[in-house]
Structure 1
Amino acid sequence: MLKKGLLAALLFSTLVGCGPGNVQQQSSTSAQVALDDIAQYIETANALEGEERSRRLTTAAQSLYVYGKIDWSRNVLSSIDPRSFQDADGFIQYSLLSANLSLEAAEPFSAKHSLFNPRFESSLTSSSIETQIQAREARANLLFDIGEYSEAVTERIKLDALLANNTEARELNQDNLWQTLMEISVSDLELEAKAAQSSETSGWYTLAALSKSSQTDLSAQLNAVENWAMLWPEHPASLRLPSDLQLLKQLVENHPKKIALFLPLSGKLSNAASALRDGFMAAHYQASINATTQPVIRIYDTEQYNIIDLYERAVAEGVEVVIGPLNKDKIDELALLPELPVPTLALNYVDNESIPTASNLYQFGLRIDDEVQQIANRAWRDGYRRALVLAPTSSWGDKAIATFSKAWQAQNGEIVSTHQFNAQKDYSRLIKDALKVADSQTRARQIRQLIGKSVEFEPRRRKDIDVIILIAHPSQARQIKPTLAFHYGGDLPVYSSSHVYDGSEDSKANSDMNGIRFTSLPWYFDNTREEKKEIDKYTHQPATFDRLYAMGVDAYSLYPRLKQLEQVTKAHFYGATGSLSMSNTRQIQRTQSWAQFVRGKAVLVPTVSVVDE
């Protein structure tokens, strides 16, 4: 809020200089004083007519928006007739604020209409350079958020030309352009490269396609980038490579030659450990097919030794990178050391994230937190505000509820109710209670008693919720979703985590989950992965282990890129478990695609719009 306040004060003091002389003098760091000044400015503006009135009211509404006074800002903007603007810059400023207010109301397509219409386009070409920069940036951000990545790339390239005299801003825009390109599939990147109308655009798409298609092999990726640069010597990306590609040569030169894999191959976690190992080794095998040299992998059973002793032994044996351990307690032990001599990619997360961890310790896993945060963001952006949360009675379910509640309430969403369930065969009582169907039955009974005769009655669910968040495994979700419909909740949208889908193609069983929207592991939707074929050929574990195979595959690709992800804020690795980036505490964060059950089949869906059932 402080940052918003400073921005508002700056915006207001700059723009009201042509208004009443005392307004600027009365502004101060006090938010209330500034709001009083804005109110006075609005009163003065309303005494005017035509374009001058509209321009000043737009200025005031912008300041209110930055201060977080959304409703007030919207009311002021609604009093403006956009037809009164003769000046292109004034109309664009009005439209930009209108788009921002639409986004606050979770109406992205209304925002898009504000920024993409004939009048906006004509105004854009005749507006000042500063306004064009602001508009292109806003359009690129919006298009990125709604998943229209190719269109966002077009805006970024046009913006790049406008920033020719601002090196810092141009580099930031190019990094954002690269991030946008990386959201596009390799096949679509290749198609866009061929269809591009300009050499510059074709060059960006070609580089992105080459880089992304070789992401799992650092040497191949470096060769692809260097060959591209020879063919495109004057391209903006050749003059300054995207930040993550700038480190490739260093990463290849420093590629570890000996790796330790720490896993509990005996004990209660042995099955999970075996799946991780198989995924890791499948990736290693695929990488070795075309490579001239590959690292030596040494596997250590962490159940047999004290973790500190084992770690010191591995380092003494020449290991340059440690992958693991998996057990939280062993990770906690390593985390408490003042430092670790070699980069260590733990396959889980420390319990207490607030405690500083040893340098060189990185953490990667499939924690529910990342997915639940993504669910909260998506449901909010889709326009929902009042959530009913259903989750298992377990520490995992408790964690999901706590994380979702924090993320949802941070956006001013309301947790109307939470209900937890055990492994059970009948969820009817749970759902009936959660939807308060019995309340309507009680009211009907009271009415019959009051009037003394029978009345027509149909039970109804509660009306104070508009979305259901379901954390469940497939066997549970296949029962809960139909039960929701039975108890009059079939019209409520249901959002879930990736755990609701295990890759099963049983359309008859999956049809019970029709309509559920869920975060998805790319592993389940990419049948071209050679590692997946290798694992399917030689292992016969239940489908529940697929997630761990995918994690093992990604762990193999991550270890040589740890410094890249750490040093380049916007760097991502697009793996089998999602789009992977690194936090400032060296924890790997996952962002996943969205899917939905449609006629018994799990299908990928766009970032915003959702397929009908």
Structure 2
Amino acid sequence: MTPKPHVSAASRQPIRAAGPWLAPALAILLLGGCGGLGVRPTSETTVVQNPAVAEAGALARNGVVLTGQARVDNERRIHQLLSQLDNDTLAREATAAAPGDPLYNYMGQALLERGLPLPRPFDHAAWTFDANSRPPAESDGYRPPVKLAMLLPLSGNLAIAASPVRDGFMAGYYGERRRRPEVTFYDTTGSIAGTLSAYDRAVAEGNDFVVGPLDRAAVDALFARGSTPVSLLALNSGSQSPPAGNASFALAPEDEGIAAAEYLLARGARRVLVVAGSDDSQRRAVDALRERLGERGATVTDVVGEGIADLGPFAAREGGVDAVFLAMRGGAARELTPKLALAGLGGVPRVATSQLLSGTGNAEEDRALDGIAFPTETWAVRGITGLPSATYAAGMLPTARGAAARLFAFGYDAWLLSAYMERLVKTADGSIQGATGTLQVDGFGNVKRIPAWATFISGVVMPLPGGADRR
């Protein structure tokens, strides 16, 4: 008999992880939706090594012992060096790297970001896939834990955000007909102390995989321990990569900035004008876009505020502007589009963050946004196997409506990752199609999400043909 999820009795606070309505509602939902040259010696000869690769390799080897900002700066320099390589050189150097070479995971990360295949799996270690006598994987790589702990802030300030994550996770859980793990929810109370205590209880109670926490500071606190007795999938990114044998999954603004940069680079954009709002997520997306463009030889010509009156002077810069990036909500973007046209920028590629959807829904008004590309969740624009349509789900569950729908999709993908993690980290072509996009895990335990791309056509959101999430 398949075990049912339950709530840890170890928590001092009552935890209402899933009310009595949740399992029936999810069941109905699922049924209804059915510098210098280095040398690389070989056994026969000495081959001249690319100088950027030689420097990056030295940094990667020395970086193993670095911590804090020194490690961050070291990794940034490695990424800058690898960005100088064209696709063929990068792929060739990655193929030639010896097993265990610290640079391989960096090169593999760069290959994934360019949509290129890995020559071999990443060098992963310390995962606890065989704990609790976990049964072998199915033919598609499905190998869920035996006992899974879910660490979420079920009380406190973050409880509202946790609810759609929890319900999305359980939608995936109830939708699976094969062997499923016993799931226990632990309330982190949204605090660092509560998170550390919840993780320790989960380990003591025999769980062989942990999903969570949700709060970034709590993720940092867990990762700061260095090593963990039970592997976990954190539901946020920390300030540094996860310790060996762990992973992190986040819907970070930086990811959208990087995705937008890659989208524009693939279309030949070299000079990008940015128009952005002032909130933290918008600034983070812009910073990530600027850094990625700079690494690949492109540039941000200017960053101007969303209330700008006249874009003409910025469009007239020497060298011109061949693309525009918008980090703003739908209402502000509607007001901006006539100004782009007046400045002669109405016909250049225009790319936005997913915030473009905020404040939209009236097709007549949203015609002003026609042609602007933006990253979004695959589930929202195309649907995925295993979940009903986003519209149907929104009618069934409050936690799948409006802005919460994105977190619902995120929770669903957390379930998929927990069930297919071994396949993702042990195979060179490991990827799964999730609700938020195509999911992969790089050599440092970071879940990489390739989003779907959409645009407005006659004021209605439509998927872009050949979206980046489908290769």
1:344 alignment partner, one of 194, 211, 232: 232
Q: For 1:146 and 1:317, locate their aligned partners in 2 and report how far apart those are by CA, in whole Å.
A: 42
SS at match of 1:388: strand
How far has the Cα of 1:261 moved from its partner? 1.4
Please, what is the CA RMSD of the aligned residues? 4.0
Residue 605 (structure 1) aligns with: 464
Runs of 4+ with deviation above 6 angstroms: 27-31
Residue 513 (structure 1) aligns with: 369
Counterparts of 1:333-482 in structure 2, within 5 Å, are: 333-353=221-241, 357-421=242-306, 427=307, 430-432=308-310, 434-436=311-313, 464-482=320-338
1:557 alignment partner, one of 412, 416, 434: 416
Residue 317 (structure 1) aligns with: 205
Q: For 1:371 and 1:69, locate their aligned partners in 2 and report how far apart those are by CA, in whole Å.
A: 23
Q: For 2:345 and 2:441, locate their aligned partners in 1 and report how far apart those are by CA, in whole Å.
A: 39
Contact 2:312–2:343 (8 Å) recurs in 1: yes
SS at match of 2:430: coil
SS at match of 1:378: helix
Q: For 2:49 and 2:250, locate their aligned partners in 1 and report how far apart those are by CA, in whole Å.
A: 44
Contact 2:151–2:212 (8 Å) recurs in 1: yes
How far has the Cα of 1:30 moved from its partner? 11
Unaligned runs of 5+ in 1: 8-26, 32-67, 71-99, 101-144, 148-155, 157-170, 176-217, 226-244, 422-426, 438-459
Q: Which has the higher helix share?
A: 1
1:258 alignment partner, one of 147, 159, 162: 147
1:271 alignment partner, one of 154, 160, 163: 160
Q: For 1:465 and 1:380, locate their aligned partners in 2 and report how far apart those are by CA, in whole Å.
A: 14
Q: For 1:504 and 1:283, locate their aligned partners in 2 and report how far apart those are by CA, in whole Å.
A: 29
Structure 1 length as normaliser, TM-score?
A: 0.51
Q: For 2:280 and 2:182, locate their aligned partners in 1 and report how far apart those are by CA, in whole Å.
A: 38
CA gap of 1:469–1:534, structure 2 versus 1, over 3 A, is: closer
Q: Give the letter for the 2:219 counterpart.
A: I
Q: Which has the higher contact order (CA 8 A, sep 6+)?
A: 2
Q: What is the CA deviation profile of residues 105-150 of structure 1, one whole-angstrom value per residue up to 9, with x for unaligned ones?
A: xxxxxxxxxxxxxxxxxxxxxxxxxxxxxxxxxxxxxxxx999xxx
How far has the Cα of 1:563 moved from its partner? 2.2
Residue 445 (structure 1) aligns with: none
Contact 1:256–1:560 (8 Å) recurs in 2: yes
How far has the Cα of 1:557 moved from its partner? 0.8
Counterparts of 1:218-257 in structure 2, within 5 Å, are: 222=138, 225=139, 248=141, 252=143, 255-257=144-146
How far has the Cα of 1:519 moved from its partner? 2.1
CA gap of 1:606–1:6, structure 2 versus 1, over 3 A, is: farther
Contact 1:258–1:296 (8 Å) recurs in 2: yes
Q: Give the letter for the 1:589 counterpart.
A: K
How far has the Cα of 1:281 moved from its partner? 1.3
Contact 1:531–1:553 (8 Å) recurs in 2: no
CA gap of 1:531–1:318, structure 2 versus 1, over 3 A, is: farther
Structure 2 length as normaliser, TM-score?
A: 0.66
CA gap of 1:608–1:556, structure 2 versus 1, over 3 A, is: closer
Q: For 2:422 and 2:461, locate their aligned partners in 1 and report how far apart those are by CA, in whole Å.
A: 35
Counterparts of 1:488-527 in structure 2, within 5 Å, are: 488-501=344-357, 506-527=362-383
CA gap of 1:549–1:435, structure 2 versus 1, over 3 A, is: farther
Unaligned runs of 5+ in 2: 1-34, 41-46, 52-83, 89-112, 122-133
CA gap of 1:299–1:595, structure 2 versus 1, over 3 A, is: same
How far has the Cα of 1:436 moved from its partner? 2.2
Residue 178 (structure 1) aligns with: none
Q: For 1:28 and 1:359, locate their aligned partners in 2 and report how far apart those are by CA, in whole Å.
A: 32
Q: For 2:175 and 2:454, locate their aligned partners in 1 and report how far apart those are by CA, in whole Å.
A: 28
Q: For 1:540 and 1:493, locate their aligned partners in 2 and report how far apart those are by CA, in whole Å.
A: 34
Larger Rg: 1
Contact 1:435–1:462 (8 Å) recurs in 2: no
Q: Give the letter for the 1:282 counterpart.
A: A
Contact 2:151–2:195 (8 Å) recurs in 1: no
1:326 alignment partner, one of 214, 217, 224: 214
CA gap of 1:504–1:277, structure 2 versus 1, over 3 A, is: farther
SS at match of 2:250: coil
Q: For 2:50 and 2:162, locate their aligned partners in 1 and report how far apart those are by CA, in whole Å.
A: 57
Contact 1:550–1:576 (8 Å) recurs in 2: yes
How far has the Cα of 1:371 moved from its partner? 2.6
Residue 301 (structure 1) aligns with: 187
Q: For 2:460 and 2:438, locate their aligned partners in 1 and report how far apart those are by CA, in whole Å.
A: 23
Q: For 1:604 and 1:549, locate their aligned partners in 2 and report how far apart those are by CA, in whole Å.
A: 20
